[in-house]
Amino acid sequence: MNIYIDESGSFVSTPKGDSWSVVVALAVAESEDVKLGKCLAILKAKNGSTPEAELKMNGVTEESYKEFLWELGELNLLLFSTAFDAGLGSDDVIRGQQRNQVAEIRSHVGKMLYPGGRQGVMQMAKQLEKVPPQLYAQLFCQVRLMYDVVAKAIPYFVQRTPDILSAFRWRVDGKDVSRTNYEDIFEKMTPMLLQTMSIKEPLMMFNGVDYSNLQRYRGPAPEYLRAVLGGEQKEALDIQKIVREDIQFADSKGSLGIQAADLVATGLRRCLRRQCGENEVVAALLGRLMVRVQYSALPLNLITFIEGKHRIAEKTAQLVRIMASSSKGIRLMRS
């Protein structure tokens, strides 16, 4: 399975509401990559672009974009997204969440069996404390996204096309020289943040399902995880291996998958900001690419960093409900 990741927006705090930034992942069966490229080529042709050119959203008509989303919905792929409203996440609010994350990481130090592991956790916590608010917001959203890909794509595809789960290739849109600092932070912090998430939200595993294609990612549950779950989790998926085994920052000019992810990310951001001509239609087409675990769940993460309940604008909430009603479902098979 190939996973293409890109973002849209700056993740910079602002006093203006509905200031959404998004990061998306397209999880695509490798056998569908050629079809994905054809969908993109057709979109380029409709908008007067050459196959070699990198087409951006401002050069795409909404009608052709809707047709592009429909064609993507015919492929064996899933769209995952985390959206951050920078208007509900001041630097102080972000720093508060950042401190909580650091404290949570440190709380697991005692669960590490070896001194080297404990020292590594403490060092990661210190590094995370120093990350600027804007980068922390983007980092949190991107790691949350990657965890969702693993947590939802596996139970979805294992019930349908399990053979595509034999390998995971992550391709993240690489930026210019000024962004290499973020890429360095991302590579260092992602494993620890993913491990922390796996403690809070253990990956969903079903009985009576063929996981043989995932065998090399399976093993005895880590001691810290068995302790948290009261010894019930005998075996677990190694989420760090799934993510770290084959991950690269790639140039979008040479990756049709990242180009497609860029167009989807920009379209989703515009839709959440209610900037499309037909927001409801675009929301339904985007939702058709998404997946959710339960009927009450949302098919994308909405991040604000504000503690307690909060409300997004009702018009935006209605678009999210349209995405949810159009999304695919995961059949729960726990015994």
Confidence class of residue 116 from pLDDT cuts 50, 70 and 90? low
pLDDT in tens, 99-109: 888 887 777 66
Mean pLDDT of all residues in the chain? 85
> Is a pLDDT exceeding 90 seen at residue 265?
yes
pLDDT in tens, 29-43: 999 999 999 999 999
- pLDDT value, residue 177: 47
Angle at 263 between CA 260 and CA 269, to 5 degrees: 140
- Domain ranges (residues) in the chain: 2-329
Task: Please tell me the distance from the alpha carbon of residue 114 to that of residue 288, in angstroms, as a whole number.
Answer: 46
- pLDDT value, residue 110: 63
Confidence class of residue 72 from pLDDT cuts 50, 70 and 90? very high
> Is a pLDDT exceeding 80 seen at residue 232?
no
Among residues 256, 313, 307, 302, the alpha carbon closest in space to that of 279 is found at 313
Of 45-49, 118-122, 155-159, 260-264, minimum mean pLDDT range? 118-122
Confidence class of residue 183 from pLDDT cuts 50, 70 and 90? confident
Secondary element (H or E) of residue 201: none
Structure tokens at 103: 């404290």
> Is a pLDDT exceeding 50 seen at residue 190?
yes
> Which residue's entry shows tokens 């899933």?
78
> Is a pLDDT exceeding 60 seen at residue 113?
no
CA quadruple 334, 190, 249, 300: dihedral sign: positive
- pLDDT value, residue 230: 52
Task: Please tell me the distance from the alpha carbon of residue 1 to that of residue 183, in angstroms, as a whole number.
Answer: 22
Contacts of 132 (CB under 8 A, 6+ apart): none
Q: Check: CB of residue 8 under 8 Å from CB of residue 75.
A: no
Q: Which residue has the higher pLDDT, 193 or 334?
A: 193
pLDDT average, residue stretch 146-168: 93
Contacts of 216 (CB under 8 A, 6+ apart): none
> Is a pLDDT exceeding 60 seen at residue 226?
no
Task: Please tell me the distance from the alpha carbon of residue 261 to that of residue 25, in angstroms, as a whole number.
Answer: 7
pLDDT average, residue stretch 110-122: 62
Q: Check: CB of residue 45 under 8 Å from CB of residue 130.
A: no
Q: Which residue has the higher pLDDT, 285 or 210?
A: 285
Task: Please tell me the distance from the alpha carbon of residue 283 to that of residue 324, in angstroms, as a whole number.
Answer: 9
Task: Please tell me the distance from the alpha carbon of residue 153 to that of residue 279, in angstroms, as a whole number.
Answer: 26
